[in-house]
């Protein structure tokens, strides 16, 4: 039995239809004694009635701000800008530890309110491996959009679909561009390879071993590149502006699943803003053309599949919430970030 009160919040990002806990897993949590409050949400892929039937309490969108202080608030994407001070423990993807834009402001809100960020990206086992991630579906969608765009078959604006619909579009692809997946052995890389397989395409696969001595000329020989690398330390970029201006470049479509734009870990410093569902493709170069796809919420385009997989991975961790382990590591990472921020602000004060 667990005393935990978990509060599933409505996502403020209007295109976010995923959820970290699906109704069937909510039922399992309730059966184990957890109190689960679910905010009604117009866009969540699962209707609120399914959570109600699973034994959850229902609350209004955004009402987590007045939840009892011990409640753990769960979501996926960014919090709304208000309140300025965050007093709860929040489980979501904060994107706050790699000096991303807005990271210091978010940490500052937690420090001001006495709350804590339990960042899902840092929910790891004792060997540092991620325990719950959307990577597979991010890679799947990134490669799918890249190849569909390259073949002139991408329909915009993008909208969430089912896997059957997406696969039917991929199966209809007839061209066979030379494709490259970097980070091919990871979760997103596996997803990218799976999507390309549905399109009948066999990509070149690079991971750590193949990029140690990066062959840029070989890279630029590919027509479609999908970057799915996750690096935790700055490394030399895979592409620079100079490479894009190479006259012999065959690369036409670049999909950056990683989307580390603005971070020191960025391996593709050839663009400075991500793209989105309304405008998924941005032209980076003319003659020869080079188009960029860099969407930071790719798995939301397959909200059902992505939520079901993620929730299945998160369920055992939520059941063990009070025993610590991975959650303690998340909390320690948050405290470290808080100390680093405090030290940095101290430095600025002394300049
Ligand atoms: N755009 C989106 O919507 C979205 C969604 C989820 C995840 N992501 C991002 O996708 C990225 C990949 O996530 P993942 O779950 O697949 O990670 P992962 O750890 O499973 O895989 C990363 C892979 O990159 C490889 N790699 C690391 N450094 C490399 C290098 N220098 N050269 C070549 N390969 C290298 C690793 O060996 C590993 O195989 C992350 O940055 C993650 O934040 C994006």
Ligand 1 in reach of 76 Cβ (< 6 A): no
Ligand 1 in reach of 133 Cβ (< 6 A): yes
CATH class of 135-301: alpha beta
User: Where are the chain's structural domains?
Assistant: 5-130+303-350, 135-301
Question: Is the CA virtual torsion 349, 332, 77, 81 positive or negative?
Answer: negative
Helix axes 103-113, 326-350, angle to 10 degrees: 100
**Per-residue pLDDT tens digits for 19-36:** 999 999 999 999 999 999
What six digits make up the tokens of 112? 């001001």
Which SS3 state, helix, strand or coil, does residue 208 take?
helix
Q: Name residue 26's beta-bridge partners.
A: none
CATH H superfamily, domain 5-130+303-350? NAD(P)-binding Rossmann-like Domain (3.40.50.720)
Ligand 1 in reach of 267 Cβ (< 6 A): no
Helix residue ranges, H only, the chain? 23-31, 48-53, 103-113, 135-150, 163-171, 187-198, 208-211, 216-220, 241-244, 303-319, 326-350
Identify whether 77 is a catalytic site residue: yes
Helix then strand then coil, % of the chain, to nearest 5: 40, 15, 50
Same fold, 5-130+303-350 and 135-301: yes
206 C-alpha vs ligand 1 centroid, how far in Å? 12
If you average pLDDT over residues 167-173, what whole number do you get? 97
**Per-residue pLDDT tens digits for 176-228:** 999 999 999 999 999 999 999 999 999 999 999 999 999 999 999 999 999 99
Ligand 1 in reach of 297 Cβ (< 6 A): yes
**Per-residue pLDDT tens digits for 268-302:** 999 999 999 999 999 999 989 999 999 988 999 99
Ligand 1 in reach of 275 Cβ (< 6 A): no
Nearest protein Cα to ligand 1, atom 43: 258
The alpha-carbon radius of gyration of the chain (Å, integer) is 21
Which SS3 state, helix, strand or coil, does residue 222 take?
coil
205 C-alpha vs ligand 1 centroid, how far in Å? 13
Greatest Cα pair distance, the chain, in angstroms, is 65
**Per-residue pLDDT tens digits for 73-107:** 999 999 999 999 999 999 999 999 877 788 999 99
Nearest protein Cα to ligand 1, atom 5: 138
Residue of 10, 88, 90, 95 marked catalytic:
95
Identify whether 242 is a catalytic site residue: no
| Confidence band of 264 (pLDDT split at 50, 70, 90) | confident
Q: Determine which helix (DSSP H) or strand (DSSP E) holds 161, and give its type and residue range.
A: none
């Amino acid at each position: 039995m667990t005393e935990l009160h978990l509060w599933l919040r409505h996502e403020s990002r209007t295109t976010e239809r995923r959820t970290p806990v699906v109704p069937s897993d909510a039922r399992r949590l309730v059966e184990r004694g957890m109190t689960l409050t679910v905010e009604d949400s117009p866009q969540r892929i699962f209707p609120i009635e399914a959570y109600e039937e699973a034994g959850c309490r229902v609350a209004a969108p955004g009402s987590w701000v007045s939840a009892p202080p011990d409640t753990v608030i769960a979501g996926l994407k960014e919090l709304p800008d208000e309140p300025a001070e965050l007093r709860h423990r929040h489980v979501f993807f904060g994107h706050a530890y790699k000096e991303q834009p807005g990271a210091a402001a978010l940490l500052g809100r937690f420090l001001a309110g006495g709350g804590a960020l339990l960042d899902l990206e840092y929910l790891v086992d004792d060997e540092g491996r991620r325990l719950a991630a959307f990577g597979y579906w991010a890679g799947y969608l990134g490669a799918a959009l890249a190849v569909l765009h390259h073949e002139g078959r991408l329909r915009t604006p993008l909208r969430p679909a089912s896997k059957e619909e997406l696969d039917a579009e991929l199966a209809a692809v007839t061209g066979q561009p030379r494709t490259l997946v970097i980070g091919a052995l990871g979760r997103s890389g596996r997803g990218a390879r799976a999507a390309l397989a549905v399109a009948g395409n066999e990509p070149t696969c690079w991971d750590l071993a193949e990029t140690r001595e990066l062959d840029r000329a070989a890279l630029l020989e590919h027509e479609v590149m999908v970057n799915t690398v996750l690096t935790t330390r700055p490394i030399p970029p895979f592409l620079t502006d100079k490479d894009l201006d190479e006259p012999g470049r065959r690369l036409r479509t670049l999909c950056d699943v990683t989307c580390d734009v603005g971070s020191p870990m960025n391996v593709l410093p050839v663009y400075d803003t991500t793209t989105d569902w309304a405008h998924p493709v941005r032209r980076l170069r003319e003659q020869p053309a080079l188009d960029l796809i860099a969407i930071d919420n790719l798995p939301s385009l397959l909200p059902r599949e992505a939520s079901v997989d993620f929730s299945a991975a998160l369920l055992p961790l939520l059941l063990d919430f009070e025993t610590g382990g991975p959650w303690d590591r998340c909390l320690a990472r948050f405290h470290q970030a808080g100390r680093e921020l405090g030290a940095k602000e101290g430095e600025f004060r002394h300049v």
